[in-house]
Structure 1
Amino acid sequence: MTTMTRLESPLRFDRLAMMLSGLCVVHCIASAVFFAMLSAVGGLLVDPIFHEIGLTIAIALGVIGLGRGAMQHGYLWPLAVGSLGLGMMAGAMTLPHDTGLMEGGEAFWTIVGVGVLAFGHDLNRRADA
């Protein structure tokens, strides 16, 4: 029987992915509030490349954390829920870029997708425990 290092632990990936999900929600809400207060402001955090990089990291962590968990414990429900969240986040990127929370729907659907993804990681974490 082999022992996993702390970095290889599926729980570590799920916790990291859940933390990233939380940071994404904070970013989306903070951006919406920021733009509501200062409508003429642009910057790095609202640049589409920032969102594309964030989605790429979320997909990578989802594949590693959720995929490894499904292979280890055999439950596909966390993988399915997490994949739905990633799909919602990817779909939100096709919407017009928002300057407010409900304007084009991008921020709203990103936040919903992040929540669904975090729920998938939580299910995965619970199945591993």
Structure 2
Amino acid sequence: MERPTGALRIKLDRLGIALSGLCVVHCVGSILLVGLLGLGGQWLLAPEIHEIGLGLAIVVGAVTIGLGAMRHKQVGPLFLGSFGLALMATALFVPHGVAEAGLTIAGVICVATAHILNLRLHSF
């Protein structure tokens, strides 16, 4: 199997950052819209949206953080990203609500930070 090019790794890390940001926006935005305005609860807080989005973010995060660690040989982003991925995976198994949102947000912050570190450590 061919190793991904540097440009592809950069794009994947950027995709991971974008997915992490979307997770946070979805969690916080959904809670605010439903809690304050009572709007869109049946769609915004649907567990399926969270499960699919979080599952996709976990896969992208695991692949790109792993590729980055193999490339730059630094374990910091790998440990931080792995911790974040564990928090995100845990969020898939707790009841839908505040605990789930807290685990998701904490996890995606760790993973997004690991993606940013990967980008900073990437050298051509």
Note whether the superposition's TM-score is higher than 0.5. Answer: yes
Equivalent residues of 2:84, 2:111 under 8 A apart: yes
Q: Distance in 1 between matches of 2:84 and 2:70?
A: 19
Alignment of 1:1-129 (within 5 A): 4=5, 6=7, 8=8, 10-39=9-38, 42-98=41-97, 104-129=98-123
> 1:27, CA displacement in angstroms?
0.6
TM-score by length of 1: 0.81
- The secondary structure found in structure 2 opposite 1:96 is coil
TM-score by length of 2: 0.84
Letter matched to residue 127 of structure 1: L
- State the superposition RMSD in angstroms: 2.2
Long gaps (5+) in structure 1? 99-103
Count of aligned pairs: 121
Q: 1:62 to 1:40 in 2, by over 3 A?
A: closer
- Higher normalized helix content (fraction of residues): 2
- The secondary structure found in structure 2 opposite 1:43 is helix
**1:37-71 deviation line (CA, Å, top 9, x unaligned):** 24585323322121111122112211221111111
Long gaps (5+) in structure 2? none
